[in-house]
Amino acid sequence: MKELEFAEFYRSSRDMCLRAVLAGVGERQLAEDLVAEAFTRAWVAWPKVARHPAPRAWVVRTALNTRISWWRRRRREVALADGHDVVVPPVTDSGLDPALLALLRGLPRRQREVIAFRVFLDLDTEATAKALGIAPGTVTAHLARAVATLRGHLVIADAKDTPEAGT
């Protein structure tokens, strides 16, 4: 029974959680790794996660926390010698417009996280605040700043793409 319940949760939630984490981290491969890790942890703690008021938010928060843990661990590692290039594959099939994803990458981390929970997971302000461990007013402030920044970039980009009247 546990297996079927979790399998259904995974099928119905994976893509939504992936998009939310992708919006938060901005890198497709990293987002996939984080979501896989978070779903693994959700499986291990399934009785607890199943009772959580927002299991998808639990998965996304776990993925974002995992990224922080990985980052902390990696910053203590010794860098490879020069000459080792890292190839970053292009983002494809994410369900997000590449231009929008690039703009999301430019936002501060907390604003990206608020966008991930409020927009991609469609959580209300209270649930987002609880999931991120911040005050509801802070969620509102970060969302307003993020939307203003995105709107500013999108309006400018749209104005550049629109031909002037009468030309």
List the CATH number of the domain containing 58: 1.20.140
The count of structural domains within the chain is 1
The three-state secondary structure class of 150 is: helix
Distance separating alpha carbons of residues 49 and 41, to the nearest angstrom: 9
CA 79 to centroid of chain Cα atoms: 27
CA 51 to centroid of chain Cα atoms: 23
**Does 36 have pLDDT greater than 90?**
yes
Q: How does pLDDT run across 100-123, given as a tens digit for each residue?
A: 888 888 899 899 989 988 988 888
Domain hosting 22: range is 2-75+95-161
Is position 80 within any domain?
Answer: no
**Does 154 have pLDDT greater than 90?**
no
Distance separating alpha carbons of residues 109 and 146, to the nearest angstrom: 10
Determine the pLDDT at residue 24. Answer: 86
Is position 122 within any domain?
Answer: yes
- In percent, how much of the chain has pLDDT > 70? 75
Higher pLDDT residue, 165 or 4? Answer: 4
Q: Which two tokens stand for residue 137?
A: 């007013």
Angle, CA of 112, 28 and 62, to the nearest 5°: 55
Is position 81 within any domain?
Answer: no
Q: Please give the average per-residue pLDDT across 117-143, as a whole number.
A: 91
> Could you give phi then psi for residue 124, rounded to 5 degrees?
-80, 175
Is position 6 within any domain?
Answer: yes
Q: How does pLDDT run across 70-96, given as a tens digit for each residue?
A: 666 565 554 544 544 444 444 445 566
